[in-house]
Amino acid sequence: MDHLSGMDASFLHLETPESPMHVGSLHLIDLPPGYDGDFAEDAKKYLSGRLHLAAVFVRKLAMMPFDLANPVWVDDDDLDLDHHIHHVIMPRPGTLAQLERLVGRLHSSLLDRSRPLWEMHIIEGLQTGQVALYSKMHHAAIDGQAGVAVAKALFDISETHAPVKAPRVTRRPDASQLGMAELATAALSNAVQQYVKLIQSIPATAKAIGNVLMPMSEGSGQRKFELPKALRTAPRTPLNVSITNQRSFAARSVPLAEVKQMAKATGTSLNDIVLAICAGALRRYLADYGCKPAKPLIAGVPVSLRSEGNTDLNNQVSVMLVSLATDIADPLKRLAAIHESSSEGKKLTGNVKAAIPTDFPSLGVPSLMSGLASLYGRSGLADKLPPVANVAISNVPGPSFALYFAGAKVASYFPVSISGHGLALNMTVQSYNGALDFGLTACRRAVPDVADLGDYVVAEHKKLFGLIVADAAQAAAVDSAVVPAPDTATVVKAPSKKRAAKSPVAKKKVAAKAARPAMSKAPRKTAVGKRAAALN
């Protein structure tokens, strides 16, 4: 028996009809030229020979007696593909907006816990001639990084897929009919192991908490008590309410090369640029409703705890809080503030990463967590309590090359994620084959016009890219003392070291350096542009 970890099982216990805890993806697929077959049947045949490559497709839950402890994963020897794989034909004209609404409805329903926790929908009838593939899997089985590993089981790297070795046929006992005594004994044994691990982790946890609350001063080398800057309260917005079980969804793409150029030119990270794009879009969207919070919006950003090379299909993730600096009007100054907040969040997460548990004792926990989750939703506390974060924003790296599904090329990779009480909007980004694909998942009542927010994402990307291009062009003109050629306006160049030293980020780092001992190593300088520096 494979026991669910405490973190994995929490996604089961916290699930309610209003807050399904599954994640998914939407793919647009280009059929091969001249294809005249039945793609739904071909896809079903293709999948039937590959599902054994990832355990999530062929195992299900066995519940503990009276929900006294976390369930276990057991093999399903009677997999019904007709239940898991569905064929959908869209009504005319088959627009992207229709597809987005369909995905929102499909993503609203709970998965059947008596079967393996996944579904796939092959959708035909798009006016582009493409086929869409929507899939969803329970978050108890995978996190974002593990989802990438699952994709390797579903997709090929060439149009002609290599043969897959069939699974060894071995008839196992019906694990779903395990006796109560056997399940209870396994639960007690697992609980003992969890308590031992918890006790062993106490010294590391205490040390991590001490480093956070009593950081060492870079100037004096002395420790003193202070709350981390990364811990801040979020303003209340229309996004932070109790939600229904209905979902809205929007899918948008921007060129990945442009995002990388912006990050390089400004000395920030790709994730900082993603956050800045989302911040600008949210600022415009909330302004449409007359909501202009004086305090900056706070994003809850998932952070992987997974060690390099680890491909286990379980959850190993934490969350850091990052200011989106939406109280700053200028996009370049906003990017500088996001970069600073993100750096603080990463530092805090790094200090406590080793002490964050992914497994913990579960005796009596399932019923308690499920009851509290239901009470929280029905009581409307999310409408009254101050939010910890305003929006969830996640950036998942994906393959940089084209994938193929049943011999057809995958054109896009839009993530579909989770909304919850108090956090009605989730903005997840997946990089794929030269594009950055945004998937915006929201409660339909709280964010009925999520397509407008999607349009603002694209508009803010273009706006930020244009500002950074113009800033880089000015930098090139200053450095060369000549007017740049017309084609330089389309190429983002890194600013000179002289201009980089004037940026808001660099100024703060220079000040910090001056306060350090003479032998301390200077940090890497970054630049966010002349315009931002002038406004600082």
Pair 236, 386: CB distance under 8 Å: yes
Which helix or strand (DSSP H or E) is residue 332 part of? helix 331-352
Residue 255: asked if its preceding bond is cis (omega within 30°), the reply is: no
Instruction: State how far the Cα of 73 lies from the Cα of 86, in Å rounded to an integer.
Output: 24
Cβ–Cβ < 8 Å for 48, 167 = no
Give the pairing of strands 131-138 and 425-432.
unpaired
Residue among 394, 391, 393 at smallest CA distance from 447: 391
Question: Considering Cα of 337, then 338, then 341, then 343, what sign does the dihedral take?
Answer: negative
Q: State both tokens at 410.
A: 């995958």
- The maximal CA–CA distance of the chain, rounded, in angstroms, is 83
Q: Residue 310 — φ and ψ, nearest 5°?
A: -80, 120
Q: Which residues contact 147 (CB under 8 A, 6 or more apart)?
A: 23, 25, 137, 396
Whether 93 and 128 have beta carbons less than 8 Å apart is answered as no
Spatial separation of the C-alpha atoms in residues 110 and 10, rounded to whole Å:
16
| C-alpha neighbours within 13 Å on the C-beta side of residue 58 | 14
Judged by DSSP in three states, 12 sits in helix
Query: What is the torsional sign of CA 224, 229, 234, 239?
Result: negative
Identify whether 52 is a catalytic site residue. Answer: no
Token pair, residue 432, equals 């794929």
Closest by CA to 421, choosing from 457, 384, 459, 396, is 384
**Token pair belonging to 404:** 């193929």
Q: Which residue of the set 139, 339, 421, 461 is catalytic? A: 139
Q: Which residues are catalytic?
A: 139
